[in-house]
Amino acid sequence: MKKFILSLMLFALPSVAVAYTDKGDAVVRILNKDAGKVVERKVTVGQTMKFEKLNITVRACKQSDPFEAKDYFAFIEIFDKEQQVFGGWMTKNEPGQNPLQHPDYDVWLVRCE
């Protein structure tokens, strides 16, 4: 009887569907810490954008389900000259979790378009 009730509870739980919309461009905000300069740049998915010493490549940019709180996610690779300084997912709603560790620059995801 316990197994029956447990299985009934599992089927009664609402299923959670996560849907994302692929976007073609990512807008990133870049802070040059030395100069105190902040700029926003649009980077097309699959392309590399050069900003001063950085090469920023966006591999994917996604928007969360339009029926939920709006959030954006981008898979970004950042190189300083030939050395990769970041490679992973960035999210707009939690910019503090973007683990870019660079002495001269900070980079945040602003949105996907």
The number of beta carbons lying within 10 Å of the beta carbon of residue 25 is: 15
Q: pLDDT tens, 58-95? A: 999 998 876 666 889 999 999 998 899 999 999 888 76
Please list, in sequence order, all residues whose beta carbon lies within 8 angstroms of the beta carbon of residue 25, skipping any fewer than 6 positions away. 42, 43, 44, 45, 58, 61, 112, 113
Hey, is 2 helix, strand or coil? helix
In contact, 76 and 88? CB cutoff 8 Å:
yes
Q: pLDDT tens, 22-45? A: 889 999 999 999 999 999 999 999
Q: Name the nearest CA neighbour of 89 among 77, 101, 104.
A: 77
Q: pLDDT tens, 51-66? A: 999 999 999 999 887 6
The answer to whether the predicted template modeling score (pTM) of the entire model surpasses 0.95 is no
What is the rounded distance in angstroms from the CA atom of residue 26 to the CA atom of residue 112?
4
